[in-house]
Chains A and B, each alone.
Chain A
Amino acid sequence: MTIVFGIPLSVLLGQLLLGLINGTFYALLSLGLAIIFGLLRIINFAHGAQYMLGAFAAVLGFNYLGVNYWVALVLAPLLVGALGMLIERGLLRRIAGEDHLYGLLLTFGLALIVEGAFVKLFGVSGSSYPMPEQLKGGFNLGFMFLPTYRAWVVLAALVVCLATWFMIERTRLGSYLRAGTENPKLMQAFGINMPLLITLTYGFGAALAAFAGVLAAPIYSVTPTMGANLLIVVFAVVVIGGMGSIMGAIVTGLAMGLIEGLTKVFYPEAANTVVFLVMVLVLLVRPAGLFGKEV
C-alpha cells in the first residue's frame, strides 16, 4: 500500500473525493452570493435562509403534497426565486445606492425572521427527507464506498455551476449583466430594463441557494438553522475567490472543500477554522481575492 504523509493513499483519495463533494456545495452557494454582489452590490445575508427554504420546500412538498424529489428540484428553486424577487422589489430596491451596511442589515434581519419563524413552526430537531429510489445505494470504488447520491450531487452542482458561468460569460443576457455591473446608468440609457435585470438576478441567486438546499435535503438533517451554519464558510469562500467573481467563486468553492477535507484527516480539530485561515492569508497577500480585480 502506498503511503503519503503517513496516510495510506486509498484513505487520502477517499478524503479528497469527499472534500470535492462538500466543495460543490460551497461552489453552488458562493456562486449565488457572487452574482448578487456583482450586480446589486448587496451582501446577501439571507442566502443561508434561502438555502434552508429550498430544503424545507422539498420536505414540506413531499410530506403534504407528495411532490417527488425531481419535481422539487425544479419547483423549490422557482418558488424561492419568486420570493427573492418579491423581496428585491418590495425591500431591497428601497435601499439601492445606500451604504452596503443597509443591505447587510436588511438581509440579515430577514434571515433571522425566517429562521425564527421556522424554529417556532417546526422545532429544531429537523426533519428527514427520503432519498430518491433511483439514487439509493452506492458503488465500491476500491478505496471507498461512494453513495450514489453524493456522486449525483457533484454532477448536478457542477453542471449548474458551469451553465451559470456560461450564461453570464458567453451569452447576450450575460453581457448585459456584466455591463450593468460596470455602469448601470449607461445600460439604462441604451434601453436595457435595468430594474428588471436586477430583480431577475436576485431571484436567480436565491434560486441557486434553494437548489443547493434541495440537493442537501436527503443527506443532511433539514433544520431551520442549517443555512446559518454554512453561510459563514461560504462568505469566506467568496472573499477568498474575490467578491463578485463568478469563476472565482466556483473554483474557490471546490478548492476549499478539498482543503477542508485534508484538514479533517490531518488535524480534524481545525476543520472548521482552516477556511478562515486561508481567508486571512489571501487577504494579506491579495486583498481583492484570488480572482478579484484590484480596485
Chain B
Amino acid sequence: MKVFQKTACAMLASSLIAGAAQAQISDDEIRIGYLADMSGTYRDLSGPGGLEALKMAVEDFGGQVNGKKIVVFSADDLNKPDVGANTVRQWVDERNVDMVTGMVASSVVLAASKVVEQSGKLALISGAAASSLTNEYCSPNHIHWTYDSYALANGTAKSVLASGGKNWFILTADYAFGHAMEKDITKVVQSDGGKVVGTVRHPFPSSDFSSYILQAQGSGADVIAFANAGADTVNSLMTASQFGVAQSGQKLAGMVVFLNDIHAMGLDVTQGLMLTTGWYWDMNDESRAWAQRYYKRVGKMPGMVPAGIYSATTNYLNAIKATGSDEAQAVRTQMMATPVNDMFAKNGKIRADGRMVHDMYLAQVKTPAESKGEWDLYKIVSTIPGDEAYRPLSESACKLLPKG
C-alpha cells in the first residue's frame, strides 16, 4: 500500500513540475465550472439558461482555444453557501478547474469566491447583486461582470427623484442584501434632496404583502421603493397593483427586477415601472441576433445574467488565446488591458477592484398596448454611462486599490 502511495505522490509531483515547466494551459485543457441555483428561487435568473449561454460561448470558439480543449462542469449550489464553497473546493482540488462562472446568490458567491481566492483561480461573477464583492470583499481572483446593487439603486433612484418623487417609503427584505439595498437607496435619495419618510422590514421570504402596502399607502410618500428581490418583489408589485397604489398617484420603484420577473407578472401589473438593467435583448442588431440564438435553445428570451455569462466567458477565452496561458493572474491582467466590446457591452473596462464597468440602461416597462410580443417588455429610456452608474473608486474600500 505504502508503495502505491509513494508512487502516486511521485507521479503527482512530476506532473505538477511538468505543468509548471510548460506554464501554459494546465492539464492541456481549459476547465470551466458553472455554479448556480439550478432548482430554487433564482433558477430562472440564470440556472439552466445561464449554462446554455456558457456553452454558446464555448461553441463559438469551436470548443477549443489554441488547440486546447475547453471542458465545462456544472453544479447546483442550492442557494447554500456551504454547498457552493464545497463544490468549488472539489472542482479545484480534484478537477483542477481554472475558472468558475455563473455565481448567483450573493451569500453563495461570498463563500465560493473565498475558496477561489485561496486556490489562486479565477471567478467571473455574473448573477450576484452585492456590490460588496468589489468593495470590502474585493479580491484579485474575481471579476464582477453584469451589474451590482449599487448600480441598480443608483440608476433607478436617481431617475425617479428627477421626475419629482421626493418623499420615499422603502419596503425592505429583512436580511443582509435588503439592508444593504436600503442603505444605498437612502444615500441616493438624501444626496439628491429627497427624504425617506418611512421603512418597513418584512421577513424573508414572505407571501403576503398587503399589510406593508397599506402602511406604505398611509405614509404619504410619493414613491414606494422595493428593496427586495425575486418572488418577494413580484408579490409586492402585484399587491400594490391590486390595492390601487398607482391610481392614488404613488410611484413604484423596483430595485432588483429582472426580465423573467416582469414576464412572470405580466404587463397589466408592471406597466410603467422604472428599472435599471445592464443589458436588454432588444437594444441593437447584435443583441437581438444573440438573443434569437439563445431563444432557439432555451425557449425564453435571455435576461442580463445569461448575456453577462456569455460575454464574460468569451472575453476570458479571448484572453487565454492572446496570452496562451490559463493561469488566473495572467488571464486577469490581459482581460483588464482589453476593453470589452461585444453584444453585451461597448467599451466596458475592468477596474483594479474587479468591477467590469459598462453602461447601464434605465428602462420602463411597456404598456400592454405598446408591447408587440411576449418578450417585448422594456423601453430603454436613457443610457447611464458606466462611470456614473457604478460606485466611484474614490468611495471604494477595496484593498487592491492604491492607498492615498
Say whether A associates with B.
Answer: yes
CA distance A126 to B230 in the complex (A): 10
Asked whether B20 is an interface residue with its Cβ less than 8 Å from the other chain, the reply is no
Is B234's CB under 8 angstroms from A221's CB?
yes
Residues of B with C-beta under 8 A to A11: 214-215, 218
* In the complex, per-residue mask of B264-306: 1 if CB is within 8 Å of any chain A CB, else 0: 1110110000000000000000000000000000000000000
* In the complex, per-residue mask of B192-231: 1 if CB is within 8 Å of any chain A CB, else 0: 0000000011110111101110110110000000000001
Nearest residue (CB) in A for B202 is: A268
Partner of B268, one of A130, A226, A268: A130
Residues of A with C-beta under 8 A to B207: 220, 226, 229-230
Asked whether A269 is an interface residue with its Cβ less than 8 Å from the other chain, the reply is yes
Is B203's CB under 8 angstroms from A273's CB?
yes
* In the complex, per-residue mask of A264-291: 1 if CB is within 8 Å of any chain B CB, else 0: 1100111111000000000000000000
Q: Shortest Cβ distance from B301 into chain A, in angstroms? A: 13
Stretch at the interface among B8-16, B37-45, B314-322: B37-45
Residues of A with C-beta under 8 A to B211: 15, 18-19, 261, 264-265, 268, 271
Q: Assign chain B's interface to a size class.
A: 35 or more
CA distance A269 to B41 in the complex (A): 21
A215-236 interface with B by 8 A CB criterion: 219-221, 223, 225-226, 229-230
Is B44's CB under 8 angstroms from A123's CB?
yes
Is A124's CB under 8 angstroms from B41's CB?
yes
Nearest residue (CB) in A for B237 is: A221
Interface centre among A14, A268, A273 (most CB of B within 10 A): A268
Is B210's CB under 8 angstroms from A125's CB?
no
A22-54 interface with B by 8 A CB criterion: 22
A109-146 interface with B by 8 A CB criterion: 116, 119, 123-128, 130-131, 138, 144-145
Is B41's CB under 8 angstroms from A271's CB?
no
Is A221's CB under 8 angstroms from B231's CB?
yes
Asked whether A195 is an interface residue with its Cβ less than 8 Å from the other chain, the reply is no
* In the complex, per-residue mask of B115-156: 1 if CB is within 8 Å of any chain A CB, else 0: 000000000000000000000000000000000000000000
Residues of A with C-beta under 8 A to B212: 264, 268
Is A22's CB under 8 angstroms from B208's CB?
yes
Residues of B with C-beta under 8 A to A149: 242
Asked whether B399 is an interface residue with its Cβ less than 8 Å from the other chain, the reply is no
CA distance A237 to B40 in the complex (A): 26
Q: Shortest Cβ distance from B175 into chain A, in angstroms? A: 11
Q: Shortest Cβ distance from A212 into chain B, in angstroms? A: 13
B338-387 interface with A by 8 A CB criterion: none
Partner of B215, one of A128, A223, A230, A265: A265
Residues of B with C-beta under 8 A to A272: 203, 206
Asked whether B87 is an interface residue with its Cβ less than 8 Å from the other chain, the reply is no
Q: How many residues of A contact B (CB 8 A)?
A: 40
Residues of B with C-beta under 8 A to A21: 210
Residues of A with C-beta under 8 A to B44: 123-125
Asked whether A97 is an interface residue with its Cβ less than 8 Å from the other chain, the reply is no
Is A126's CB under 8 angstroms from B210's CB?
no
CA distance A150 to B214 in the complex (A): 14
CA distance A127 to B266 in the complex (A): 8
CA distance A138 to B244 in the complex (A): 8
Residues of B with C-beta under 8 A to A128: 238, 264-266, 268-269
Asked whether B261 is an interface residue with its Cβ less than 8 Å from the other chain, the reply is yes
Is B214's CB under 8 angstroms from A220's CB?
no
Q: Shortest Cβ distance from A40 into chain B, in angstroms? A: 28
Q: Shortest Cβ distance from A184 into chain B, in angstroms? A: 37
* In the complex, per-residue mask of A81-123: 1 if CB is within 8 Å of any chain B CB, else 0: 0000000000000000000000000000000000010010001
- Identify 18 residue pairs between A and B in the complex whose beta-carbon atoms are under 8 Å apart, listed by A's number: A14-B218, A21-B210, A123-B43, A125-B260, A127-B264, A130-B266, A138-B243, A145-B248, A220-B208, A221-B238, A226-B207, A230-B207, A261-B211, A268-B201, A268-B203, A269-B174, A269-B203, A271-B202
Chain B interface residues toward A at CB < 8 A: 39-44, 47, 174, 200-203, 205-208, 210-212, 214-215, 217-218, 231, 234-235, 238-239, 242-244, 248, 260-261, 263-266, 268-269
Q: Assuming A123-B260, A128-B238, what are 20 further A-B pairs, CB within 8 angstroms?
A: A11-B218, A15-B214, A18-B208, A18-B211, A19-B211, A116-B39, A124-B43, A124-B44, A124-B231, A125-B234, A125-B264, A130-B266, A147-B242, A220-B238, A221-B234, A221-B265, A225-B41, A261-B211, A268-B201, A268-B211
